[in-house]
Amino acid sequence: MDTGLKPVIAGYIPLLDSAVLVAAARMGFAEREGVSLKLVRETSWANIRDRIAVGHFDVAHMLAPMPIAASLNLTSLAVPMIAPMLLGLGGNAITVSADLWGDMAHAGADPAGDPASTGKALAQVIAMRRGGRQRLLRFGVVHPFSGHAYELRYWLAAAGIDPDKDVEISVLAPPVMADALAEHQIDGYCVGEPWNTAAVAAGTGRIATYKQAIWPDSPEKVLGVTRKWADSNPETLSALLRALSAAADWCSERENAEVLAGVLCEPEFLGCPVEICLPALTGQMQFDQSTSRQIPDFLTFAGGAKASPTPAHGRWFFEQMVRWSQAGETSASVREAESVFSSDLYRAALGLAASVPDPVFHLFDEA
């Protein structure tokens, strides 16, 4: 049956910030732009990377640094990619075990999750543990090339903790983080929602700080597209970007949060209880069983100019790769990272102004 719609196959990982893709496919935004968007759920970022490389997927939900890592040939099956749209800002948190939070609270950690305060408290706990010859604390992140890894490392380093010497950082799949914490395999982790709330709800974890407090309004997931596909399908990509922008605007409306949570919880997508999806979507975060905070921009979706990538974003992620010895710094690499996050395609698709000044970044430890 020919519907006249242009088919697009998108791979995604079942996380709250797959919402824009899910809404575009389910709420009619894709069809309205003449796109038939088929979503394929995946179980690992490695699968997303491999399947977009061999052409199973046209586009994918990706960790923001992944298209840069692919373009710079830092991973296997690397192909040149672009990140023509931001699919979500914020949305991650750093959760620690109830035991570790107990020690941090004793050292004066801010219950509201101020990153400077909680980082300082963690540094004191680590110093005491070193004195008591206790083992290194272990933290989990979802991927080495992820906002999670860089946020955790940034937060630790700002408090004088060496992420490569003073703690151990390993990679775990998001859905297993809360269990690994409960079983004391790790002492804390940085992950997207709803996997922090899952540990809080189980009573085994406590949110120590969060992405929006570390680097406000920073990109988390992007739409990843191979340069090859983007070059061969410019009109389809343009239509898809308009559809995703409209879907993101819809997702950003507070009054749609319940409907969105209901769709995301379906077995086809996240397959989880609706209660654990709602906090991040409504900004009503629960840090532990007795502390809740209203953080309206904890996780934000937005279309329009707010979802535009900028070369400065690409540069920031690349600087983190250099800082943590994942990449060597050359001027060619910097330019490549900037071009992965070029705003040209997105702005052209939405008819936005041809250029805008770089966004002002304000990380928590910068005066």
Partner 1 sequence: MAGAVNGAAQHFGCMKISPAHNNGMSDGLSILVIDDNRIRASIIEQGLRDAGHDQVILVHQMDRLVRQIADINPDVIVIDLENPNRDQLEHMFQVSRAVRRPIAMFVDRSDSHSIEAAVDAGVSAYIVDGLKRERVKPILDMAISRFRAFSKLAEELEEVRTELADRKTIDRAKGILMKSKGLSEQEAYDLLRRTAMNQSRKIIEVAQSLVIASGLLGGEA
Q: How far is the CB of 175 from partner 1 (least distance, A)?
A: 7
Task: Work out whether 228 is an interface residue with partner 1 (CB under 8 A).
Answer: no
Residues from 152 through 181 that contact partner 1 (CB under 8 A): 170-173, 175-176
> CA-CA distance, 156 to 119, in Å (whole number)?
6
Q: Give the residue with the Cβ less far from partner 1, 45 or 269.
A: 45
Q: Give the residue with the Cβ less far from partner 1, 142 or 159.
A: 142
Q: Give the residue with the Cβ less far from partner 1, 7 or 55.
A: 55
Q: Which of 7, 43, 106, 235 binds partner 1 (CB under 8 A)?
A: 43
Q: How far is the CB of 45 from partner 1 (least distance, A)?
A: 5
Q: Can you give the length of the chain in residues?
A: 367
Task: Work out whether 328 is an interface residue with partner 1 (CB under 8 A).
Answer: no
Under a CB-based contact definition with an 8 Å cutoff, are residues 21 and 60 in contact? Answer: no
How far, CA to CA in Å, does 28 sit from each of 156, 186, 270, 306, 349? 43, 42, 20, 22, 19
Residue indicated by tokens 């395609």: 345
As separate numbers, helices (DSSP H) first and strands (DSSP E) second, the chain gives 17, 13
For residue 80, the one-letter residue type is P
Please give the DSSP secondary-structure letter assigned to residue 159: T
Q: How far is the CB of 88 from partner 1 (least distance, A)?
A: 19
Bridge partners for 170 per DSSP: 140
Taking CB under 8 A as the binding criterion, the range among 48-56, 214-222, 314-322, 344-352 that sits at the site for partner 1 is 48-56
Q: How far is the CB of 135 from partner 1 (least distance, A)?
A: 15
Residues from 123 through 152 that contact partner 1 (CB under 8 A): 142-144
Among residues 53, 60, 14, 16, the alpha carbon closest in space to that of 38 is found at 60
Task: Work out whether 268 is an interface residue with partner 1 (CB under 8 A).
Answer: no
Task: Work out whether 227 is an interface residue with partner 1 (CB under 8 A).
Answer: no
| DSSP run (H or E) holding 346 | helix 344-350
Query: Number of residues in contact with partner 1, rule: CB under 8 A?
Result: 22
